[in-house]
Structure 1
Amino acid sequence: MTRVEGEAPLARDEVAEERDTTVGAGRAFAWMLVATGAVGLLAAWVITLDKFRLLEDPNFTPGCSLNPVVSCGNIMKSEQASVFGFPNPMLGLVTYGMVIAIGAALLSGARLRRWYWLGLNAGTLFGVGFCTWLMHQSLYTINSLCLWCCSAWVATIVMFWYVTSHTVRKRLLPAPVAVRGFFGEFTWVLPVLHIGIIGMLILTRWWDFWTS
């Protein structure tokens, strides 16, 4: 892997790390994958069960349907809830379970090849992109929110930014020195900012409802 122009010479252990074909992760990062994967899996599991109940009984009201805005039932009945031809949470059951497995493997000391890390990064990028589309549909087309969906969104956002930070800091993704330094010190800023923007969009979308 080539060095960025103007960067200080690499230390011996850094050179060895760059030449290594596998990369591990710290326990904090591994636990982050387990925790965010567990939150997403729990949300997908609850929504899937409620979807089955709704199919059995069209008059079933999910427990998270609290008011006209926070209404999981409206989300489940929408076309966007089965965009791939099957209920969206079934996809989450698979993908979040895989994330938990990867986190558990890293906790046990596993070291993964570059293509595996990039595949995980691409998967989380797809996840955050899909969540962004679902957010837009919820806010401006379906006009309802699902608390379990929001939990999955937050978990996916945190997962994406920390996986991206890891791949950048470990030089698995090419990036300028300043970017690597930022991710090394301020990774937490990006998910907080991302989630904060979504929170502001939700607040402003239903401002009259929240303040009435």
Structure 2
Amino acid sequence: MPAETAEYRRPIGLAVLLIVAGLLGWYASFDLTLEKIQTLINPDYVPSCNISPLVTCGPNMASSQGSVFGFPNPIIGVAAFIAPIVVGMAILAGARFAKWFWVLFNLGFVGAVAFIVWLMSVSIFVLGTLCPYCMLVWAVVIPMFWYVTAYNVKQGHFGNGRGSREIAALVYPWVWTLVLLSYLVIVVLAQLRLDALTTILRTL
């Protein structure tokens, strides 16, 4: 235990990422929830995120996939994004979490990534749209997933050995490259399927 205590360093950078990304994700989810409520109150209401036929959130909200659990998907974000904000604030306040907590926290991000990958595929390949608020959610979940996973490997929270922890410690400063590659995959898919760049430039 003393050795673990001596080696422990508060992940301040990770905490800041969780707070900032969590706040952005919560804002996007909350605003999208408000837009959905407005469309339910007034069927003629045009959401403010309907920027063009391609960059729009109306079709996403109106689709069956937009309420996959029987209620609007953004409500999930309003509830779920509180978690990284609270965890990040707790870390800054000096809190330490048990390994099992970090593993469960990581599993939450695995589920989040799986969910947004599915929603992303529906948006690009089925609906043919790029929802601005949805893309903001994608943009914040991806780095949180990669950095939380890398941190857990680096700290040995998955029960991995010292060798893998040392490798993870060396790789950790370069996790941003995985984030950029993930963004690049989304851009390429959107471009190949929707010719997104050309369409967006024409609307500017």
CA contact (8 A) 2:128 2:194 kept: no
Distance 1:168 1:51 in 2: 39
Letter in 2 for 1:28: G
Cα offset for 1:211?
Answer: 6.7
Among 64, 68, 72, the alignment partner of 1:79 is: 64
The residue aligned with 1:3 is: none
Distance across 2 between alignment mates of 1:127 and 1:147? 18
**Which runs of 5 or more structure 2 residues have no equivalent in the other structure?**
none
Opposite residue 171 of structure 1, the aligned amino acid is: G
Asked if 2 retains the 8 angstrom alpha-carbon contact of 1:24 and 1:109, the reply is: no
Q: 1:209 corresponds to which residue? A: 199
CA distance in 2, matches of 1:51, 1:211: 28
* Deviation (angstroms), 1:77: 0.4
Instruction: Name the CA distance, whole Å, in 1 between partners of 2:122 and 2:82.
Output: 25
Higher helix share: 2
Superposition pairs for residues 11-22 of structure 1, below 5 Å? Answer: 16-17=3-4
- Return 199-208 or 74-83, whichever deviates more: 199-208
- What does residue 53 of structure 1 align with? 38
Q: CA–CA distance in 2 between the matches of 1:161 and 1:25?
A: 18
**Rg larger for:** 1
Partners of 1:139 and 1:166 in 2: CA distance:
31
Partner of 2:11: 26
Which structure 2 residues correspond to residues 1-212 of structure 1 after superposition, within 5 A?
16-17=3-4, 25-173=10-158, 174=160, 177=164, 179-207=167-195, 209-210=199-200
Q: Identity across aligned pairs (percent)?
A: 33
What count of residue pairs does the alignment treat as equivalent? 195
Are residues 92 and 211 of structure 1, via their aligned partners in 2, closer, same or farther at CA, if it must alter by over 3 Å?
Answer: closer
Structure 1: stretches of 5+ with no match in the other structure:
1-11
Q: Which moved more, 1:65-74 or 1:170-179?
A: 170-179
Task: Find the counterpart in structure 2 of residue 5 from structure 1.
Answer: none
1:47 and 1:104 map into 2 onto residues whose CA distance is 25
The 2-side partners of 1:139 and 1:82 are apart by 17
